[in-house]
Amino acid sequence: MAVAFSARIILYGMYACNERWEGCTRSAEETELQQLALGGIYDAAREVAGIARRQLQLILTAAVVQRPDEEGEVDAEEEGEVEGSTSPLICHCLYQVAGRM
């Protein structure tokens, strides 16, 4: 899902551009396309926020499992990387959304 949202956000970003070219005015079609692209970015951002909430919940749940015992020690089996860590693809998706907002 993160890859698909990254692609959508990049695609919408290409058409949501506000730059003006010298001597050119925007046509009604360009303005309409820009509004659709901005709406698509906001819709995708809401969906990505849901993905981020689910990932955060997974990370917090995994961190609770690895909490040290009363003596401050963690089982040898539980040391190391937190299970359910975030994929770089999700990080890229979050980065794309943050860059467009």
Average pLDDT of the segment spanning 67-73: 60
Domain spans, the chain: 1-15+30-65+83-101
- Please state the φ and ψ torsions of residue 16, each to the nearest 5 degrees: -95, 10
When comparing pLDDT for 67 and 2, which is higher?
A: 2
Looking at the predicted structure, is the pLDDT value of residue 78 above 60? no
In this prediction, residue 76 has a pLDDT band, given cuts at 50, 70 and 90, of very low
When comparing pLDDT for 72 and 86, which is higher?
A: 86
Looking at the predicted structure, is the pLDDT value of residue 31 above 70? yes
Q: Are 34 and 14 in contact (CB under 8 A)?
A: no
* Per-residue model confidence (pLDDT) at position 60: 81
When comparing pLDDT for 77 and 54, which is higher?
A: 54
